[in-house]
Amino acid sequence: MNINIVTVKNNVDKVNLRGDFVKIIIDPGHGGKDPGGGNNEYWKEKDMNLKISLYQYERFKDLGINVEMTRKRDIYLSQEERTKKVRGSGAEICISNHINSAYNKSAQGVEIIHSIYTDGTLAGLIMEELKVMGAKGRRVFSKTHPNMPGKDYYYMNRLTGNVETVIVEYGFASNREDSKRILDNWQQYAEAVVAGVCEYINYPYNKDINYTKIIGKSEVTLRKMQDWARNNKATEKFIGAAEKYIKYGEITGIRADILYSQSGKETNFGRYTGVVTEDMNNFAGIKVKNPTGDQSKDHERFLTVDDGVRGHFNHMCAYVGIEPVGKVHDRYFVVKSLSWAGKVKYVKQLGGKWAPDPRYGISIIEDYLTKLLNTTVEYNDYKVLYENCKKENAVLKESIRELRNKLEKIATIAEV
């Protein structure tokens, strides 16, 4: 048995890394005759670890990243067999998946353990992504072995050579809330780890349509938005509102193309086939402060198109944690009071929040945004093109003016 394992672990050189050169090994903890300790009435730890690991294995493959597993089936591996696989894999990074357990039933949250020879950057990034996905954070830590100075306490950290290993404990099987969270969200948690690794190795990940961030720059022009709207037989009012979406996208930093897509879904391209009517200028199905049902009167009414679009952006501001623009509608404060307010990052996460449908966000991306992004614009009429550019320029100029005003106001407040 070779005990002389290299123990000095270097942080991966982030600048040079791309998926082609990086290899990941995923380790589903326990297996076979060893069920693990994180069991409850819903699962055995070894099975949940394997489910999460297989998900990640497929996702890394999809992303074009070289990936391997220590086990793909329910088999037992000794410490030596397991760590030998990791050491011999040629991987730079190992993710060891586990579920925690404690006598104290109130103990809950995610724990990520990194080697004492790393600074915990990778573990920290994974924790951040998990929290974004609604997991409860407990701690990121490393632990020295009490009887082996200079060695890691946990064998997956200690015996995996120069492979940078993090042990991810997704929560406590002994805790009711953690168990529910893991049952409901294990795919999202598994995905969060993939995201954290990609961020660490500087691998382009955001392009994945399932991980589209709400904050960012619009990927389409005003002309493209309007062409897309016309292709979908939108009303003139809806087509006209595109200008306002560009404007408030610039002011808030929220993607105008995403919110315009959402509005396409919510209003049926301005045709309003539900209880909200066109004259209400409500582009996103925003409700009043205390709705009693799902009638027209339960929805917010905005004075103008500009106010309505501003309301849409302001509402999203409460979700993603950005300051709203101008006076806000009542429902904004209701969102602000919720536990996840300001923490929503991805369009996908709007599901079950903006609307009860868990696929709401995914539908915005798949059924609307993707089609908007793929709309081709034919610039055969240069006069129209010129006029549109002029219009877009004017909208941007107005946005800049408003931003300046805002800044001046802030400066004034600061002086007082």
- Piece of the chain touching Zn ion by CB under 5 A; list 4-12, 92-100, 127-135, 307-315: 92-100
Q: State in angstroms the smallest separation of the CB of 113 from Zn ion.
A: 11
Closest distance to Zn ion from the beta carbon of 43 (Å): 12
Say how far apart CA 193 and CA 172 lie, in whole Å: 17
**Applying CB under 5 A, which part among 28-36, 79-87, 276-284, 353-361 lies near Zn ion?**
28-36
- 29 contributes a contact to Zn ion by CB under 5 A: yes
Tell me whether residue 395 is exposed, middle or buried, using C-beta atoms within 10 angstroms of its C-beta: 0 to 12, 13 to 18, 19 or more. buried
**Judged by CB under 5 A, which stretch of 4-12, 36-44, 254-262, 368-376 contacts Zn ion?**
36-44
Pairing of strands 66-69, 137-141: unpaired
Chain centroid to CA 104: how far? 31
Binding track over 394-413 against Zn ion, x by CB under 5 A: --------------------
Q: How many residues at the interface with Zn ion, by CB under 5 A? A: 3
Looking at residue 10, the DSSP 8-state letter turns out to be P
**Whose Cβ is closer to Zn ion: residue 36's or residue 196's?**
36
Segment contacting Zn ion by CB under 5 A, of 26-34, 106-114, 261-269, 326-334: 26-34
Q: Is 36 in the site for Zn ion (CB under 5 A)?
A: yes
Q: What's the CA gap between 166 and 230, in Å, rounded?
A: 50
Q: What's the closest the beta carbon of residue 191 comes to Zn ion, in angstroms?
A: 21
Q: Report the Cα 98 to chain-centroid distance in Å.
A: 22
Residue ranges of alpha helices (H) inside 88-208 are: 121-132, 155-158, 176-200
Distances 397 to 252, 314, 333 between C-alpha atoms, Å: 15, 21, 30
Which of positions 144-203 make contact with Zn ion (CB under 5 A)?
A: none
> Nearest approach, Cβ of 88 to Zn ion (angstroms)?
22
Of 25-33, 137-145, 234-242, 351-359, the segment contacting Zn ion by CB under 5 A is 25-33
249 counts as binding Zn ion under rule CB under 5 A: no
What distance separates the 2 farthest-apart alpha carbons in the chain? 79
Report the C-alpha gap between 19 and 34 in whole angstroms: 33
Q: Using the minimum distance from each CB to Zn ion, give the nearer residue, 154 or 272.
A: 154
φ, ψ for residue 272, nearest 5 deg: 40, 75
Strands of the 93-100 sheet, one edge to the other = 66-69, 23-28, 93-100, 164-172, 110-114, 137-141
> Measured from the CB atom, is 49 or 188 closer to Zn ion?
49
Least separation in angstroms between residue 142's CB and Zn ion is 17
Q: How far is the CB of 144 from Zn ion (least distance, A)?
A: 20
**Which one of residues 9, 44, 82, 98 is an interface residue with Zn ion (CB under 5 A)?**
98
| Contact residues for Zn ion, defined by CB under 5 A | 29, 36, 98
